[in-house]
């Protein structure tokens, strides 16, 4: 595994697909978490028993697979069972937001083992923010007694467009000093492991799906906060588009935004009328004393009718764009997350009202529009998922086996 | 290969992926069309030379692979070279439109060997229309001297929503009598081969990409005709969505459509103001004597200013929705096809004007908006592609090898 080129695990060349019966390929069966006997593995794959035995030995030596007791037998010595061991390695997952940094230590299954959150403005620039991330990573590892060789990789979410192949931010609007910065190189100077970087909304979509909708193939995760964006999962795969900008909901034009200037320079963008900041601005202009989306939510919780109405209208505006998303993408689940999701039903009612009115019946029969369940942890869960997809892929496992084998403590 | 369950070739289970080094897997390397020696195949895959030799023999016996001469050698007997033989099997590809049926006989590479087109209203119902398709298929096969055992499969495009897994139309608006009809069963009563059915716009996207944009991973094909729809290819894969309705552009709301009632029952849909029929209606209301989109195009070609202006405005309206598509999907190529694409630059100028004005700079830097090059053949090319993806997949090749081997004539 090259440190500088963490290719997406799903992109296997024909040569990689044909060069199989490797331990990394066999491991894909074991990823389902249930215990397998050698005979079951041989029966399912058609591989020779001796080949299976050798591969299982390799995987056990590496720690990725452990013996989990014995199966029932019709006679003779009962066969051993083997299963994926998520604690074989750890992952560091960092969620860099506009004004905070959250770092979590997880296992390969995405379970959070330790976590730290700090206020930290992304506008401090990459060295300061990533320096803090690296420090926190080291501290979490040390506190958990996790030796460096147990670290499988680091996943990082950033609040702006990222060129996924290189991990470099691309003209991020709210991240001064970050454009083109070598995030991977900076972090790898401290930790010599694969480092995968993506935009925060993309990894929130991955995290929400991995944690709560593992069987859903078409999911749209919408983040409503200071800005508005989305992460698109189609056919079970995160879709980044040709330049990594897919899912950019915030700058879709909506009718009610006519004439309202957006920070992107265009007029009529969804974000200019329905983000947390925009809702607060609109209420303030009506004479209600609010300075942020969070304050609007607090007012609404206290029963303020103007605040409730403003949130519901923001929901309708978001719903207008989501109705278009339903036409185009036909997801079965739309998840609303981000800080404004704390407004709960005030926003959801508006969203559902428009989506179910505007979208074609065939596309809404099985559609669910729900609040995020991962909540504040969606991004670190997704960053962990980004890494586990990479290191548990056939190529990732092979690379781990070729490197130093690590026993399970 | 089950006749009744033509699963998508991309959906391989982990067991299928691990059970490799089969001939069908090895064949994936040969699909690139260039000649390979056994040594090159062994070197690239890591398989034993003897294993490669056995697999190549199987593939040659089936006809999928042929010897294509000898490679240069540094001494001794020059090694043989092998390559994919697209003529090993044929495919029947049917494009059922609102008022026409086109059937083509192609090879496995999508080259059209014979073709027939007839006027035939889809509203005649499935037995009549598919009866004609089956008759034409038989005739094309007979005329080409193609024995039944050489037929790899049949692909069919229909002008309405199709449940891809079963091939049954789902509440298609312009296809009376087709709702839930067992298209696959009907056709398989005449030809015992895999039958794959999809909506026409999806297969037009597949055909356009296979023929002209094979290296483009994110492509949007927009059909502008009596209706408006699109086929979405993201990450190199056709995206159908959770219920098979993805790409439904025609019923996205646009500002200028405010108050205009669409045949779907909603108001403000793109299709209600920018389809061929809608443009003709609008011009007729202004006193210009036109009855169809084709007549509008003819007028514009003759220099009629109102016709030119109406087409350009339709382009702008389509562009408004495409700008949203660029935000959401970030394609690198948008192809405009369907009968109204014959309006050429009159429509394209309007589309480009709005797309490049509204879409984010990062997403349009590498974006091309082009006219369809496959033209009237896009659908049969796509229907052929649907079948070849299926039968040339690892599982498809294995199934063919397990069945009766067919030599190359």
CA distance B300 to chain A (A): 31
pLDDT per position as a tens digit, A147-177: 999 999 999 999 988 988 899 998 888 899 9
Query: Which phi and psi angles does A220 have, rounded to 5°?
Result: -120, 120
Residues of chain B above pLDDT 70, percent: 92
Looking at A52, A87, A122, the residue that finishes a domain is A87
pLDDT of B13 above 90:
no
Helix (H) or strand (E) holding B157: strand B151-158
Residue B255 touches partner A, C-beta closer than 8 Å? yes
Q: Which residues contact A353 (CB under 8 A, 6 or more apart)?
A: A315, A316, A319
CA distance B49 to chain A (A): 13
Please report residues of B whose CB lies closer than 8 A to that of A25.
17-18, 20
Residue B18 touches partner A, C-beta closer than 8 Å? yes
What's the whole-number mean pLDDT along residues B335-364?
92
Beta-carbon separation of A241 and B363 below 8 A: yes
Rounded to two decimals, the ipTM of the complex is 0.87
Query: Which phi and psi angles does B48 have, rounded to 5°?
Result: -65, 145
Any idea what the CATH number is for the domain that residue B248 is in? 3.30.420.40
What's the whole-number mean pLDDT along residues A17-22?
51
Which of B36, B245, B249, B317 would best serve as a mutation to test chain A binding (most A beta carbons within 10 A)?
Answer: B245
Looking at A60, A87, A114, the residue that finishes a domain is A87
Q: Which of A32, A241, A249 sits opposite B331 (nearest CB)?
A: A241
Beta strands in A227-289 (DSSP E): 228-234, 237-239
- Asked if A271 and A250 touch (Cβ cutoff 8 Å), the reply is yes
pLDDT of A22 above 80:
no
* Whole-number Cα distances in Å, A38 to A72, A395, B12, B131: 13, 22, 22, 52
* Among candidate residues A211, A160, A156, the one with its CA nearest the CA of residue A333: A211
Please report residues of A whose CB lies closer than 8 A to that of B329.
232, 239, 241, 246, 328
- Any domain includes A211: yes
* Domain count across chain A: 3
Strand partners, B282: none
Beta-carbon separation of A15 and B25 below 8 A: no
Q: Are residues A331 and A214 in the same domain?
A: yes
Beta-carbon separation of A251 and B20 below 8 A: no
- Any domain includes A6: no
Q: Are residues A170 and A226 in the same domain?
A: no
> Would you state the pLDDT for residue A73?
62
Q: Which of B243, B247, B255 sits opposite A255 (nearest CB)?
A: B255
CA distance B86 to B64: 7
Q: Are residues B105 and B249 in the same domain?
A: no
In this structure, how many other beta carbons lie within 10 angstroms of the beta carbon of residue B174? 15
Query: Which phi and psi angles does A379 have, rounded to 5°?
Result: -70, -45
pLDDT per position as a tens digit, A313-332: 999 999 999 999 999 999 99
Residue B20 touches partner A, C-beta closer than 8 Å? yes
> Would you state the pLDDT for residue B74?
66
* Residue A25 pLDDT level (bands cut at 50, 70, 90): confident
pLDDT per position as a tens digit, B257-282: 889 999 888 899 999 999 999 999 99
In this structure, how many other beta carbons lie within 10 angstroms of the beta carbon of residue B307? 24
Q: Are residues B137 and B241 in the same domain?
A: no
Residue B13 touches partner A, C-beta closer than 8 Å? no
In this structure, how many other beta carbons lie within 10 angstroms of the beta carbon of residue A226? 20
- List the single range of A311-315, B33-37, B202-206, B294-298 with lowest mean pLDDT: B33-37
Torsion of CA B393, B398, B404, B409, to 10 degrees: 50
Residue A7 touches partner B, C-beta closer than 8 Å? no
Looking at B87, B110, B126, the residue that finishes a domain is B87
> Would you state the pLDDT for residue B335?
98
- The per-residue pLDDT of chain A, averaged, comes to 89
- Any domain includes B179: yes
Beta-carbon separation of B246 and A323 below 8 A: no
pLDDT of B120 above 70:
yes
In this structure, how many other beta carbons lie within 10 angstroms of the beta carbon of residue A331? 28
β-pairing, B195-199 with B151-158?
Answer: parallel
Give B209-254 as a DSSP string. HHHH-TT-SSEEEEEESSSEEEEEEETTEEE--SSS-TT-GGGSB-
> Would you state the pLDDT for residue B206?
97
- Any domain includes A1: no
pLDDT of B404 above 50:
no
What 3-state class would DSSP assign to A226?
Answer: coil
pLDDT of B17 above 70:
no
Strand partners, B239: B232
- Any domain includes A336: yes
- Count how many residues are written for chain A: 409
* Residue A405 pLDDT level (bands cut at 50, 70, 90): very low
> Would you state the pLDDT for residue B264?
85
What 3-state class would DSSP assign to B261?
Answer: strand
pLDDT per position as a tens digit, A187-236: 999 999 999 999 999 999 999 999 999 999 999 999 999 889 999 999 99
* Residue A18 pLDDT level (bands cut at 50, 70, 90): very low
Residues of chain A above pLDDT 90, percent: 70
- Any domain includes A83: yes
Residue A51 touches partner B, C-beta closer than 8 Å? no
CA distance B221 to B409: 37
Query: Which phi and psi angles does A258 have, rounded to 5°?
Result: -40, 115
Range of the domain at B53: 14-87
- How many alpha carbons fall within 13 Å on the CB side of residue B318? 35
* Residue B21 pLDDT level (bands cut at 50, 70, 90): low
Q: Are residues B153 and B215 in the same domain?
A: no
Q: Are residues A273 and A384 in the same domain?
A: no
pLDDT of B223 above 80:
yes
Residue B39 touches partner A, C-beta closer than 8 Å? no
Beta-carbon separation of B44 and A15 below 8 A: yes
CA distance B320 to B94: 33
CA distance A400 to A61: 11
pLDDT per position as a tens digit, A247-259: 999 999 998 988 9
Q: Which residues contact A179 (CB under 8 A, 6 or more apart)?
A: A169, A170, A171, A172
Please report residues of B whose CB lies closer than 8 A to that of A264.
360
Q: Are residues A102 and A148 in the same domain?
A: yes
Q: Could you tell me the pTM of the whole model?
A: 0.89
Residue A245 touches partner B, C-beta closer than 8 Å? yes
CA distance B135 to B130: 8
Q: Are residues B52 and B123 in the same domain?
A: no
User: Could you give the residue ranges of the DSSP H alpha helices within A116-162?
Assistant: 126-143
* Among candidate residues A204, A183, A192, the one with its CA nearest the CA of residue A247: A204
- Any domain includes A9: no
Q: Which residues contact A139 (CB under 8 A, 6 or more apart)?
A: A116
Q: Are residues B161 and B57 in the same domain?
A: no
Higher pLDDT, residue A192 or A12 = A192
Please report residues of A whose CB lies closer than 8 A to that of B18.
20-21, 25-26, 28-29, 44-45, 47
* Residue A5 pLDDT level (bands cut at 50, 70, 90): very low
Residue B267 touches partner A, C-beta closer than 8 Å? no
- Asked if A268 and A257 touch (Cβ cutoff 8 Å), the reply is yes
What 3-state class would DSSP assign to B308?
Answer: helix
- Compute CA B41 distance to the chain's CA centroid, rounded to the nearest angstrom: 31
Please report residues of B whose CB lies closer than 8 A to that of A160.
none
- Any domain includes A237: yes
Q: A403: burial class by Cβ within 10 Å (0-12, 13-18, 19+)?
A: exposed
B181 token code pair: 């009809």
CA distance B98 to B225: 10
In this structure, how many other beta carbons lie within 10 angstroms of the beta carbon of residue A84? 22
CA distance A390 to A238: 13
Residues 170-199 of A with CB under 8 A from B: 170-171
pLDDT of B227 above 70:
yes
pLDDT of B164 above 80:
yes
- Asked if B222 and B269 touch (Cβ cutoff 8 Å), the reply is no
Query: Which phi and psi angles does B362 have, rounded to 5°?
Result: -60, -30
Q: Are residues B113 and B157 in the same domain?
A: yes
Q: Are residues B112 and B191 in the same domain?
A: yes
CA distance A271 to A266: 11
> Would you state the pLDDT for residue A367?
96
Q: Which of B21, B218, B252 sits opposite A20 (nearest CB)?
A: B21
Residue B264 touches partner A, C-beta closer than 8 Å? yes
pLDDT of A344 above 60:
yes
CB burial of A34-50 (b: ≥16 within 10 Å; e: otherwise) equals ebbbbebbbebbebeee
What 3-state class would DSSP assign to A71?
Answer: coil
pLDDT per position as a tens digit, A49-104: 888 888 899 999 989 999 987 666 666 777 889 999 999 999 999 999 988 999 99
What's the whole-number mean pLDDT along residues B296-311?
96
Size of interface A-B (CB pairs under 8 A): 203
Q: Which of B28, B245, B328 sits opposite A325 (nearest CB)?
A: B328
Q: Are residues A173 and A317 in the same domain?
A: no
Please report residues of A whose CB lies closer than 8 A to that of B15.
29, 44-45
What's the whole-number mean pLDDT along residues B338-354?
94
CB burial of B132-167 (b: ≥16 within 10 Å; e: otherwise) equals bbbebbeebbeeeebeeebbbbbbbbbbbbbbbebb
CA distance A22 to B332: 36
Residue B51 touches partner A, C-beta closer than 8 Å? no
């Amino acid at each position: 595994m090259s440190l500088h080129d963490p290719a997406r695990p799903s992109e296997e060349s024909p040569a990689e697909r044909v060069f199989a019966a490797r331990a990394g390929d066999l491991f894909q069966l074991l990823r389902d978490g249930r215990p397998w006997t050698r005979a079951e593995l041989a029966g399912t794959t058609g591989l020779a028993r001796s080949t299976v035995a050798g591969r299982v030995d390799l995987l056990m030596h590496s720690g990725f697979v452990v013996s989990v007791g014995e199966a029932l037998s019709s006679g003779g010595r009962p066969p051993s069972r083997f299963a994926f061991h998520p604690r074989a390695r750890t992952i560091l997952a960092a969620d860099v937001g506009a004004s905070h940094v959250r770092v979590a230590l997880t296992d390969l299954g995405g379970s959070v083992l330790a976590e730290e959150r700090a206020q930290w403005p992304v506008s401090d620039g990459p060295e300061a923010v990533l320096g803090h991330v690296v420090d926190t990573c080291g501290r979490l590892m040390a506190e958990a007694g996790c030796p460096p060789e147990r670290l499988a990789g680091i996943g990082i979410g950033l609040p702006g467009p990222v060129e996924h192949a290189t991990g470099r931010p691309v003209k991020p609007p709210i991240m001064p000093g970050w454009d083109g910065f070598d995030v991977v190189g900076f972090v790898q100077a401290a930790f010599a492991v694969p480092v995968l970087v993506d935009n925060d909304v993309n990894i929130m979509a991955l995290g929400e799906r991995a944690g709560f909708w593992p069987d859903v193939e078409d999911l749209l995760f919408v983040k409503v906060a200071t800005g508005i964006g989305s992460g698109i999962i189609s056919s079970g795969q995160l879709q980044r588009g040709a330049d990594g900008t897919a899912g950019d909901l915030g700058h879709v034009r909506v009718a009610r935004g006519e004439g309202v200037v957006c920070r992107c320079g265009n007029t009529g963008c969804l974000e200019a009328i329905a983000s947390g900041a925009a809702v607060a601005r609109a209420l303030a202009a009506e004479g209600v004393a609010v300075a942020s989306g969070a304050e609007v939510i607090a007012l609404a919780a206290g029963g303020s009718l103007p605040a409730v109405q403003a949130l519901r209208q923001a929901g309708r505006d978001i719903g207008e764009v989501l109705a278009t998303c339903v036409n185009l993408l036909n997801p079965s689940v739309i998840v609303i997350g981000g800080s404004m999701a704390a407004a709960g039903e005030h926003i959801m009612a508006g969203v559902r009202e428009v989506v179910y009115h505007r979208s074609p019946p065939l596309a809404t029969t099985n559609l669910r529009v729900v609040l995020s369940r991962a909540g504040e942890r969606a991004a670190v869960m997704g960053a962990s998922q980004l890494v586990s997809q990479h290191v548990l892929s056939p190529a990732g496992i092979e690379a781990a086996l070729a490197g130093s084998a690590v026993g399970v403590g």
